Structures are given as structure tokens and as C-alpha cells.
Amino acid sequence: MRPAHPREREVGMAYYVSDADGTGGRLREADGDFRVRELERFDAEPVDADPGSYNHLVLRVTLSGWDTNDFAKRLSDALGISRERVAWAGTKDKYAVTTQLFSVAGVDPDDLPDVRDADVEVVGRAGRSIEFGDLAGNEFEIAVTDPAAPDNAEAVADDLRAFGGGTAAAPNFFGQQRFGSKRPVTHEVGLRVVREDWAGAVMAYLGNPRESEPEGTREAREFVEETRDWAAALERFPRRLGYERSMLHALVETGGTEPADFRAALEEVPSNLQRLFVHAAQSYAFNRILSERLDRGLPFDRPVEGDVVCFADTDAPDGLALPDTDRLQRVTADRVDTVARHCERGRAFVTAPLVGTETDLGDGEPGDIERAVLDDLNLSPGDFDLPGEFGSTGTRRAVLVRTDLSVERDPLRFSFTLPKGSYATVILREFLKCDPLDLG
């Protein structure tokens, strides 16, 4: 185990579990170097099914250089419909080639527009929209550009197999993308939202300049921090920063002096981004809990007394070990060995909390870790009883992610499958051990 990069420590990832030196290099030199294909559990009827009963057109879309949200907006704008009628199971990165399902309510195949860098295949029709629960996992094929020491990949892989009890595994951290790769602030916004510091949340998003940003953007953020002159700031913020400008427009309209004004400004951004703020706060706390578990030397591939485990989803695609966090069990002293055998066979998974109003914390040392991190962040489950999209009941999440990993060294390329919600970069960071900005 060795200390993580300072940028990673900023979002709660304190360590690499592999002691081996990294390969170096960078990801996403070209979109085609990072390929993702979703594994879904969603059945569609034939495309000629009755549109009255099956109102949702199901599409399989391969995108190059498109963020999922941006593509959905482009598609809905071209169709002249609300973006809320476009649905998908998982949000994908812009700098990649991604293949995933979309559903669109109330349109026919002949209505579909041509969209650049988007290959759209009509799969059929469905009686409901696609939802997050329809996603089971993702297949990745990822190439590394300019690795300094590609032969180090073998030693890293050995370390990850040892950590996973025989199968390559890593702590199931939330990756840098969850918080903003170049400007990791979404958790800072979320922590203020949970404390109902609406003004602080807005300023964490509008202000908070980072060296990784263009000079003009940094200056605009510095200006709004110093002056809170919303109208003048609106003139300075680049048009590409649409969410910031939406907040500023709202503050100009309301005056931007009362807590309700700032909450209204936050509610100007799309609902999924409102939820992301709170989810990022939960994710940051989760990362901190995993780092503390590593620090104390507790295992990840098997439980200790006081842990809460979940069981495998029996409906997952063949070969994919998918945690089902609706099926939880607290591990008592007399059950540790039995549950450990289930974990070894991929039938159970040790979990940690994504804290919310209905979250039950662990017992024993795992519970001590969870409570210590939440106390340090001045958080409790009841804090997530918030209005609108900002509220969260919470859940639990597996602390370990295992994968059958394939590594090619000339050129350096990785192929693997992960369950939904797990980040490819938490595997690859162990191999590259680079600045997370180079992970894309």
C-alpha cells in the first residue's frame, strides 16, 4: 500500500493498494482508446409493436465524443420534445466511444434525426422508459498512450490479485470523474447542500477557481467570489459554462441575497445534476470510509464482525458478479466464517454506507470507522431529509470491485468487465499511478 496522488486524496482516495511501481502513461488520447459497452437487462418488443401499448422507442446508440446528457439534449432538441422524454440507464463520459440503450417516449423511427458521431440502431419498443436499474455492468477496452514502464503491469496485476483473494480487485472507490476530473468540487457543493447552506453551495460551484481551468474562467470565478455582483459576473462567465450562467441568471432575477434565492439558483440546473451534488457528498464520505478501512488494515474481500454484507444479484448476466444492495445482512461473530465463504465464492460482498435518511451503520470496528468519518464531516443520516431532488434515503455499496482482467503489453491495453456503478479508473489508477488528470 502506498499514498495516492494528492488530487486523489482531495476526493477521499488516500492509497493505492498496489506497492508496485506504475506503468505511467495517459488515457483517452483519442476517443477510440476508451471503449465502453453497456450490459443491460432490458427486453424490447419488435419495432412494429402497438405504439399505444409500447410508447417508448428503444435505441442502441454508439457515440464518439458525446457526453450522455449532451446527446440526450441534442436528440430531444432535434425531435422538438422535452429532454425528460429521453431516458437511459447509465451516464457515459464524453471522451470515449460508448454503446448504450436509450428510450424515447412518443416518437416513431422515421422521426429520428441524423446526429453527428452517433450511430443509432432502432432495437424495438417498450412499455416503459429505460431506468438505472436496467444497467447491469459495462465492458471496457482501454488503451494506454506512452506508458513509461509497461512491463510493470504484471507486478501490479499480481498485487491486485493478492488484494482480491485470487481475483484482480481494488477498493471500489468513486473515481475522480464523480467529483469533476479537472475541477473536483461537486462534493463540496453537496456537503453544503446537506447542511442547507444554500449560499455556500452556490458559491462552491460558481467560485472555487482551479489552476487546471483556462485563465478567463479562473478570473470570472475570482470576480464572483470577491464581488457577488451577479449581473457583472454573468458578463464575464464564458457561454460554454451553461450551468453557471443559469445560476447567475436566477440570482440576477431574485437579487441573490436570501437563502431561498440561492436554493432557487441551484434548482436551475438539471435535476440529475441536483442529485449529483448530494450523491457526490455521499461518495466522498464513502471514499473516506474505504481509506480509513485500508489505514486500519481491515480486509475488503471478506467481512469482520460488525460488517454489513449484501448478496449477489441472481438475475445478473452470466459471469458478472453484481451486488444486490437490497439484500443486506449484518455479520455477527458466529457468522463471520460462513459469510466469508460466501464472499470468496462471489455470492456476498462487504459493504459501506452511502449515507442517507434510511441508512443503518455497521457495528464493531466497521461501524466505528463509519461514525468517525461522518462525525469528521459533521454529517448524520437525518441531514439528508431535504426538499426536492436534494433528498436521499441512502444505500450501501460494495467496498471491493473484482474483475477478470486481461492485459496486453505491446501496446499496453486492458480489457475487463465491471458491475454498474464501478469506475474503470479505480482499476487503471493502480496500474498507471499517474496524475488523475491523465486518466481523463
| Positions marked catalytic | 93
Helix (H) or strand (E) holding 124: strand 118-126
How far is it between the farthest Cα atoms of the chain?
Answer: 65
The answer to whether 266 touches 186, Cβ cutoff 8 Å, is no
Alpha helices, H only, 228-270: 230-236, 242-254, 259-266
Which stretch of DSSP H or E encloses residue 330? strand 323-330
Residue 335 CB burial class (10 angstroms; 0-12, 13-18, ≥19): middle
* Residue 413 to residues 96, 207, 434, Cα–Cα distance (Å): 15, 38, 16
Which residue is associated with the grid cell 419498443? 125
Contact 105, 129 (CB under 8 A): yes
Question: Rounded CA gap, 141 and 130, in Å?
Answer: 25
Q: How many CA atoms lie within 13 A of 68 on its CB side?
A: 20
